[in-house]
Amino acid sequence: MAEIFSGNSRYASDFQTVINRSVAIASLPLQQLSNNKLVLQDQSTALTGLDNKFASLQSALGSIESATGLSSYSSSVSNGSVVKANISSGAMEGTYTVEVTSLGSFSNTMSRDGLPVVADPSQTSLSSDSTFTLSVNGTDYSITPSGNNLTALAQAINDKAGSSVQASIVNVGSS
């Protein structure tokens, strides 16, 4: 007995199952590629996130370096004409005190008799000259005061040769 296959035969559902199974088997490589693509996309997203985290970490480390490097330190002194402070590698945070154990040597010089008497050092000078030469330990300094008075002369000496000498005006009295 030969049956003719038709959509209504008893083999139709079996045949449909075979076709469905064949299509499913044939589409497995495509499904695997699709699954692999999703896995790779997830990994790419994770790597991008990790890259962003490392960039943030690098930025934070740079901030820490600038906050703790030499640029984060500063120095100040109460009298810059006495001592200077410099910051170099190995500098440590803190407050430092410098004790001066010897003030060095000093000298006093009095003007010769016969020079004019100066009643007001901010108004009068000992000379009408506008430029003076000061010799200290073999070094000559050309001194040009801003005005023709003793106060300006003392200031010019301190500005020009202040690390070698210090000029001040002292009233030694009427005699």
| Cα–Cα dist 129/106, whole Å | 27
Q: pLDDT per residue over 123-150, tens digit each?
A: 777 777 888 888 888 888 888 888 888 8
Residue 127 lies in a domain: yes
Half-sphere exposure of 152 (CA within 13 A, CB side): 17
48 lies in which domain range? 12-70
Q: Give yes or no: residues 64 and 123 share one domain.
A: no
Task: Give pTM, 2 decimals.
Answer: 0.36
Residue written as tokens 């001194």?
143
φ, ψ at 8 (rounded to 5°): -105, 10
| Cα–Cα dist 98/85, whole Å | 10
| Strand 132-136 with 139-143, pairing | antiparallel
* Distance, C-alpha 130 to centroid of its chain: 45
Residue 174 lies in a domain: yes
Tell me the C-alpha to C-alpha distance, in Å, between residue 53 and each of 33, 61, 87, 141, 147.
Answer: 30, 12, 35, 63, 67
What is the model's pLDDT at position 118? Answer: 73
Residue 5 lies in a domain: no
| Cα–Cα dist 109/124, whole Å | 19
Q: pLDDT per residue over 22-58, tens digit each?
A: 988 999 999 999 999 999 999 999 999 999 999 999 9
pLDDT band (50, 70, 90) for residue 3? very low
What is the model's pLDDT at position 1? Answer: 43
What is the model's pLDDT at position 78? Answer: 79
Residue 7 lies in a domain: no
Compare 45 and 173 and report the one with higher pLDDT.
Answer: 45
What is the model's pLDDT at position 153? Answer: 86
Residue 82 lies in a domain: no
Q: Are 164 and 136 in contact (CB under 8 A)?
A: yes
DSSP 2-14: -PPP-TTSTTHHH
What is the model's pLDDT at position 107? Answer: 63
How many structural domains are present in the chain?
2
What is the model's pLDDT at position 115? Answer: 65
Q: pLDDT per residue over 52-81, tens digit each?
A: 999 999 999 888 877 766 666 778 887 777
What is the model's pLDDT at position 33? Answer: 93
What is the 3 state secondary structure string of 72-117? HCCCCCCCCCCCCCCCCCCCCCCCCCCCCCCCCCCCCCCCCCCCCC
Residue 96 lies in a domain: no
* Distance, C-alpha 128 to centroid of its chain: 50
Q: pLDDT per residue over 73-121, tens digit each?
A: 778 887 777 778 877 777 677 777 777 676 666 666 665 566 667 777 7
